[in-house]
Homo-oligomer: A and B are copies of this chain.
Amino acid sequence: MTTSQEPAPTSVSPAATTRGRLRPIGLGRARITGGFWAPRQARNAERAIPAGQDQLEAAGNLYNLRLAAGIDEGEAIGPIFADSDVYKWLEAVAWEYGRNPSDDLLDRQRKLTAVVAAAQREDGYLDSVVQLRQGVVGRYRELVWSHEHYCAGHLIQAAVAQIRCTGDRALLDVAIKLADHLVATFGDSGQGKIRDVDGHPVIEMALVELYRETGTTAYLELARWFVEARGHGIIEGHGHHPAYFSDRVPVREATTVEGHAVRAVYLAAGAADVALETGDDDLLRVLEGQFAHMWSTKTYLTGGLGSRWDGEAFGDEYELPPDRAYAETCAAIGGVQWAWRMLLATGNAFYADAIERMLYNGFLAGVSLGGDEYFYVNPLQLRGAAEPDGNRSPAHGRRGWFDCACCPPNIMRTLSSLDGYLASTTDGAIQLHQYAEGAVAADLPAGTVELQVDTEYPWNGSIKVTVQQTPDTPWALELRIPGWAEGATLNGKPVDAGRYARVEQTWATGDTVELQLPMATRTVAADPRIDAVRGCVALERGPLVYAVEQVDQQTDVDDLHLLVGAPVTATHEPGLLDGVTVLTTEGRPGTAHTPDHWPYRPGLDDSVGDEVPVRAVPYYAWANREIGAMRVWLPRA
């Protein structure tokens, strides 16, 4: 719950962390001002958000809401979850307004909010497509597919962002009315309520946020009920396979993630919120185990989640094919949301490492350098002869929108709220989790601290923190040393990787701390159980995973081998791909390729030709020049 003494919380859906180890920094008090992320946020504001509204208009999402509001007449268009894309976009606009207020952004929010409010039914129900296609009698008829709670969840998240960033209550009033309707409608059947869950989680996170914003415990209680209701046969009782819907086992009995990846991580993030707010340490321990199992057996090098196209799902343990990786952009976003809550709950640097990996790789590849074209699916390999296979195929290159448009506005709201992931506080300390050119301010019990962060991260591992304001009593600065950063130094002294380096002292304005993270290129291999990349290696530098694209090579990427042990040169090229550090090394082309023959034979060997140069670019930047063969994992020569 927000109190008048503290700034409003920020981030996508920040935890107030009543029971968490760490507290998020208040709204607008962690700011990215330059470096790597600032131009991406600028393009998000200038290009993606305006284009997004046009796309929502063109695809009919806004039309549906106008129909439900009685402004237009006609029939609903598009998928049943169409409203949710509007709400994610509204949320993005709100956070963006919080970063950089403008009349235009306020005007867009207010006009659209008025339509949403007019579309809401008297009793609080709101789902334009269901209202238009099924009427009152069709409400919650098939919640497993109808996404009614899913749309409600995104509405609530947008409303919370709006009140925090603009002070406008209009969308919050809609959200409260809708949440009150849900509280009155869903719960134990013994209480005369509907005992059912939405096939697509997100309502759990949203209701906890609304509880934090309003203090209404009924919302937290309903979120808890939705989390606990899963895994007890509700969805199977409707005749559906429960694993896809994260409904095969109760949340607190699950030891891994399974089924539809976005559904799974959204539910886990919601469960983490419930655990945080109810002080449910047992649930938190279970979620730690699930996250650890996901991270060690079901996560791509890029942080990408979900290996199966079929069902957009997590695969079995170690089933991580690079070519058919699904790794939906939304799953990376949900992964970040879950990890952020786990970080606030535990203070474990492991989760901040995970956020970094997902943000710089699996998430960021989902959006073009121009900011307004998107990947739905993020494979780690594309063959030269790959044929596009439907609307979402990466073989098309990034696209302006999708038939199922969940990813684009999800990317927008993530970029516009990114500042919230930079830092947190405890009573006596400030934690810096992610490194970006910018400023962080926080009110510790001892007084207000202001920090300036200067860095060219991730191109350069040097991070300078300057104290701009400080109380005159001691406090601690805690800096995350990434797990990959063996050999890091803080003010010249070695610090351990994979934890927070802590400097506790009495500070003076102008004091500086200098962190040096080693930016040597790393050549990594996969656990042998990840069969799909056996005998291969990948290149990393800092938080970035690298990819080899056809456009940069002299020979065919489909069978290019990497010469392990050859020197790797890192060169920053400011004019390439908006400025990237390129890795150059040596490889060998394959020679054993024999088309037009039965491809399985005794003695077939992975022989290779003469050395050729290999250039690798950051994975996030691939497919911005042309769409062609790409590999993250290359066979060892």
Among B309, B387, B529, B592, the residue within 8 A (CB) of A310 is: B309
Q: Which of A43-62 contact B (CB under 8 A)?
A: none
Which segment of A162-170, A423-431, A530-538 sits at the interface? A530-538
CB of A528 within 8 A of CB of B559, answer yes
Given contacts A387-B258, A536-B534, A595-B296, contact A526 B318 (CB under 8 A): no
Among B292, B385, B534, B590, the residue within 8 A (CB) of A606 is: B534
As a 0/1 sequence over residues 24 to 55 of chain A, the CB contacts with chain B under 8 angstroms (1 = contact) are 00000000000000000000000000000000
A593 within 8 A of B: yes
CB of A531 within 8 A of CB of B600, answer no
Q: Which of A378-399 contact B (CB under 8 A)?
A: 381, 383, 385-387, 389-391
- Chain B residue, CB-CB nearest to A312: B310
A555 within 8 A of B: no
Q: Which of A533-548 contact B (CB under 8 A)?
A: 533-536, 538
How far, in whole Å, are A328 and B515 apart by their CA atoms in the complex?
Answer: 56
Set of chain B residues within 8 Å of A108, measured between Cβ atoms: none
Which segment of A198-206, A212-220, A517-525, A572-580 sits at the interface? A517-525
Which segment of A98-106, A319-327, A366-374, A450-458 sits at the interface? A319-327
| Chain B: minimal CB distance from A589 (Å) | 11
Chain A contact residues (Cβ within 8 angstroms of B): what range? 35 or more
Set of chain B residues within 8 Å of A293, measured between Cβ atoms: 596
How far, in whole Å, are A606 and B528 apart by their CA atoms in the complex?
Answer: 6
| Chain B: minimal CB distance from A624 (Å) | 22
4 closest Cβ pairs, A-B complex: A309-B310, A527-B599, A535-B535, A525-B604
A601 within 8 A of B: yes
- Chain B residue, CB-CB nearest to A486: B602
Can you pick out 30 interface pairs between chain A and chain B where the beta carbons lie within 8 Å of each other?
A292-B596, A296-B597, A296-B599, A299-B599, A308-B324, A309-B310, A310-B310, A311-B389, A317-B385, A318-B599, A319-B323, A319-B383, A321-B321, A321-B532, A322-B531, A323-B531, A381-B531, A524-B602, A525-B602, A526-B604, A528-B559, A528-B592, A528-B606, A529-B599, A530-B599, A531-B536, A531-B635, A535-B535, A535-B606, A538-B600
A313 within 8 A of B: yes
CB of B318 within 8 A of CB of A522, answer no
CB of B590 within 8 A of CB of A301, answer no
CB of B598 within 8 A of CB of A295, answer yes
A306 within 8 A of B: no
| Chain B: minimal CB distance from A607 (Å) | 8
CB of A296 within 8 A of CB of B598, answer yes
CB of B525 within 8 A of CB of A603, answer yes
Among B389, B527, B603, B606, the residue within 8 A (CB) of A592 is: B527
Which secondary structure dominates chain A's binding surface?
loop
| Chain B: minimal CB distance from A370 (Å) | 27
How far, in whole Å, are A597 and B593 apart by their CA atoms in the complex?
Answer: 35
- Chain B residue, CB-CB nearest to A540: B600
CB of B241 within 8 A of CB of A390, answer yes
| Chain B: minimal CB distance from A391 (Å) | 8
Given contacts A316-B323, A534-B535, contact A600 B559 (CB under 8 A): no
Among B297, B324, B390, the residue within 8 A (CB) of A319 is: B324
Given contacts A296-B598, A600-B524, A600-B527, contact A534 B635 (CB under 8 A): yes
A4 within 8 A of B: no
How far, in whole Å, are A403 and B238 apart by their CA atoms in the complex?
Answer: 16
- Chain B residue, CB-CB nearest to A526: B600
User: Counting chain B CB atoms within 10 Å of each CB, which of A322, A527, A599, A606 scores highest?
Assistant: A599
How far, in whole Å, are A532 and B603 apart by their CA atoms in the complex?
Answer: 18
CB of B390 within 8 A of CB of A316, answer no
